[in-house]
Structures are given as C-alpha cells and as structure tokens.
C-alpha cells in the first residue's frame, strides 16, 4: 500500500495522536532519503516490533558542513515512496524546510563528549545539526522506538545520549550495517561514485577487516596503520579523515583492542567521502 506522504506538522500530529491514545507503539525511522537496503532493514526492524511505523525523509541542511555536499546529495522521493510500498508503513514524514526551520528558528541541541572526535572533528557542526533535527523528529512523531544504523555508529551514540539527556521518552535501537556483496557499506553517497571509483570503494572495508583481524590477534594500531594507509592510497583514496580504534562504549581512543572496540574510518575516493566502522 502507498503510505500517505505528510508534509505538515499539524497533520502529522493529528494522525499520530489517536495512535498514541489507543496505546499503540509508534516507531520512527529517520532518513535523508535515497533509500537503499540499509534503510529498508531499519524499516523492517521497526515493522517487526511497532504497531505504527513512520519513515522520515528530510535532507537536513544543518548537518552539512559543506554546501556542495548538500547540493549534490541525492534526492529521489518518488522512488523512495515506491520502495516503502511493500513495508506497508503508516506515514512518510517529509517536512518542508520551513516546517522544520521557520525563519525565527533559534535552538541548537549540542551533545558534548561523544562529539569531539571522528566525524565531530572532521565535519564541524555536523552533530549539532543531527542532534537538533533528531530531537525535533522524536517530538514531532512522538515515537516510542527509533531505529538507527550502526553504519553511523557515532551518530547512534550521540542520538542515544541526546534522548536520555533530554528525557525524551523514546527507545533508540541500533541495527547492523547492511553491505553490498563486495563488502562496501550501503550508503546514499555510493550513488555519487563513478564506475571506476565504485570498483575500488570496497577496499576500505577490506583494509579494515584486515586490521581488525590483526588487532584481534593482539596487534597495536601503530603496527597495522602504516600498511593500511598505504593500501588505501594505492587503491586511489586521496585522503583519510580518520582511521582509528575506539571503545565501542564512549568512543575513547585505543591503541589495542583490550576492551570491546570498533575500528572507524572516513576516507575520500574520487571526491566522495566514505565512512565505515566494524566491531573488533
Ligand atoms: P541517512 O539517510 O544516511 O541519514 O541514514 C538514515 C539511517 O539509515 C541512519 O540511521 C543510518 O545509520 C542508516 N543507514 C544508512 N546506511 C545504512 C546501512 N548500510 N546499513 C544499516 N543502516 C544504514
């Protein structure tokens, strides 16, 4: 069934209020659209445990630190709605820019600690934009459960902290990263890769898996990093924003995997910034 596309805050509230009154469990899957199987896995997870599911599609200007990146971000609303048909979701929330940020808008939600590393450093302002829009999406949808991908692990941590700190009554649920057969983490930005760059893109995950194996065997980051960086450079990656081992809980920087940890990377290939992270 084609889900109603809702573009107005008041209409969304009108729709959700009776669900809440009836005690139904409302789930939300926030996205920026250009939906792929990674997004759809979150929708399936939501459908499995919620009575009502709202998918949001909003390319949030506040989380882009680069205007060109915002302009180039793929927008495929019609195709997105068609992909959602088979999930029978209850609403697709597609707020207009002025619904989200009217001219007088003056509030920023800022999470400290978790945001002073990784994408927080390489994309200044990014997580303020994420925390602000996600707080709004939680309140607009009145969701009981919200589904986020581990693909954006730092975002998952930031959003969980934000909801807890602000006493927003929503349970944030993390879902595993969905990958292409060659290991490349699915991402809307993969659409921006040239055919040639697409061939080399999976090297990022390959290199990370190799590092993770060595780290599991007791190696230190300083022993595995030089070779990893060299392999990325050979594959055509032109810059690495970060390639770091961090604690899965709290994101403290690690040299060895002596607590539950994850390897995080952000690297540039032919003008496209790819990110990935895996459990060590
Ligand atoms: P985005 O549209 O990129 O903002 O992503 C919307 C949500 O989908 C976020 O919670 C992402 O972490 C999640 N997501 C994106 N790519 C994947 C993937 N490959 N596997 C699982 N979740 C994903």
Q: What are the per-10-residue average pLDDT scores of the chain (280 residues)?
A: 92 98 98 97 98 98 91 92 97 95 97 97 96 98 98 98 98 98 96 96 98 98 98 97 97 97 98 97
Which residues have CB under 8 Å from 192's CB, separation 6+? 72, 74, 271, 272
Q: Give the whole-angstrom CA distance, residue 19 versus residue 108.
A: 29
Residue 253 burial (C-beta neighbours within 10 Å; 0-12, 13-18, 19+): exposed
Angle at 108 between CA 95 and CA 64, to 5 degrees: 65
Distance from the alpha carbon of residue 41 to the mean position of ligand 1, in angstroms: 9
Q: Give the whole-angstrom CA distance, residue 39 versus residue 20.
A: 25
Q: Which residues define the annotated binding site?
A: 32-39, 63, 149-152, 155, 178, 186-189
| Ligand 1 neighbourhood includes 41 CB (under 6 angstroms) | yes
Q: Specify the ligand 1 atom closest to the Cα of 189.
A: 3
User: Contact 42/147 with Cβ under 8 angstroms?
Assistant: yes
Q: Specify the ligand 1 atom closest to the Cα of 150.
A: 12
Which among 30, 32, 80, 151 is the best mutation to test ligand 1's pocket, defined by most ligand atoms within 8 Å of the CB?
151
Architecture per CATH, 188-279:
2-Layer Sandwich (3.30)
Pick the CATH number of 5-175 from 3.40.50.880, 3.40.50.720, 3.40.630.30, 3.40.50.620: 3.40.50.620
| Ligand 1 neighbourhood includes 126 CB (under 6 angstroms) | no
Report which DSSP code applies to 188: G
Which among 119, 149, 178 is the best mutation to test ligand 1's pocket, defined by most ligand atoms within 8 Å of the CB?
149
DSSP of 217-257: TT--HHHHHHHHHHHHHHTTEEEEEEEEEEETTT--EESS-
Count of other CB atoms within 10 angstroms of residue 3: 18
Q: How far is CA 170 from CA 19, 30, 54, 145, 147, in A?
A: 15, 13, 14, 5, 10
| pTM score, whole prediction | 0.97
Q: Which residues define the annotated binding site for ATP?
A: 32-39, 149-152, 178, 186-189
| Ligand 1 neighbourhood includes 178 CB (under 6 angstroms) | yes
Name the E strands within 152-236: 171-175
Q: Give the whole-angstrom CA distance, residue 48 versus residue 246.
A: 31
Q: How many residues are recorded in the chain? A: 280
Distance from the alpha carbon of residue 8 to the mean position of ligand 1, in angstroms: 24
pLDDT attached to residue 65: 87
Catalytic residue of the set 6, 16, 28, 39: 39
Which among 30, 42, 54, 143 is the best mutation to test ligand 1's pocket, defined by most ligand atoms within 8 Å of the CB?
42
Which residues have CB under 8 Å from 148's CB, separation 6+? 30, 42, 155, 156, 159, 172, 173, 174, 175
Q: Give the whole-angstrom CA distance, residue 211 versus residue 256.
A: 11
Is 39 one of the catalytic residues? yes
Q: Whose CA is nearest to atom 8 of ligand 1?
A: 39
Where are the chain's structural domains? 5-175, 188-279
Q: How far is CA 136 from CA 4, 22, 116, in A?
A: 20, 23, 23
pLDDT attached to residue 270: 95
CA 217 remoteness from chain centre: 30
Q: Whose CA is nearest to atom 18 of ligand 1?
A: 38
Q: Whose CA is nearest to atom 11 of ligand 1?
A: 149
Burial 20-47 (b: 16+ CB within 10 A, else e): eeeeebbbbbbbbbbbbebbbbbbbbbb
Residue 85 burial (C-beta neighbours within 10 Å; 0-12, 13-18, 19+): exposed
Distance from the alpha carbon of residue 38 to the mean position of ligand 1, in angstroms: 6
pLDDT attached to residue 244: 98
Q: How far is CA 30 from CA 133, 151, 211, in A?
A: 10, 14, 32
């Amino acid at each position: 069934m084609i889900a109603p596309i809702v573009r107005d805050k008041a209409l969304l509230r009108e729709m959700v209020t009776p669900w809440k009154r009836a005690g139904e469990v409302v789930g939300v899957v926030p996205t920026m659209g250009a939906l792929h199987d990674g997004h759809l896995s979150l929708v399936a997870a939501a459908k499995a445990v919620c009575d009502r599911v709202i998918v949001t599609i909003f390319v949030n200007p506040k989380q882009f630190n680069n205007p060109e990146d915002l302009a180039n971000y793929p927008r495929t609303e019609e195709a997105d709605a068609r992909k959602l048909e088979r999930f029978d979701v209850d609403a697709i929330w597609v707020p207009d820019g002025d619904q989200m940020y009217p001219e007088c808008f003056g509030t920023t939600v800022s999470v400290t600690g978790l945001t002073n590393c990784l994408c927080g450093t390489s994309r200044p302002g990014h997580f303020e934009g994420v925390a602000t829009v996600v707080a709004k999406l939680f309140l607009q949808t009145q969701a009981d459960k919200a589904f986020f991908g581990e693909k954006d692990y730092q975002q998952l941590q930031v959003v969980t902290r934000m909801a807890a700190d602000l006493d927003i009554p929503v349970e944030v649920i993390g879902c595993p990263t969905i990958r292409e057969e060659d290991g490349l983490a699915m991402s809307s930005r993969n659409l921006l890769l040239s055919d040639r760059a697409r061939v080399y893109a999976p090297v990022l995950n390959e290199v990370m898996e190799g590092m993770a194996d060595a780290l599991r065997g007791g190696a230190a980051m300083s022993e595995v990093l030089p070779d990893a960086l060299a392999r990325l450079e050979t594959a055509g990656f032109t810059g690495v924003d970060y390639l770091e081992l961090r604690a899965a809980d709290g994101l403290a920087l690690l040299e060895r995997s002596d607590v539950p940890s994850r390897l995080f990377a952000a690297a540039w290939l032919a003008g496209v910034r790819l990110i990935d992270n895996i459990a060590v």
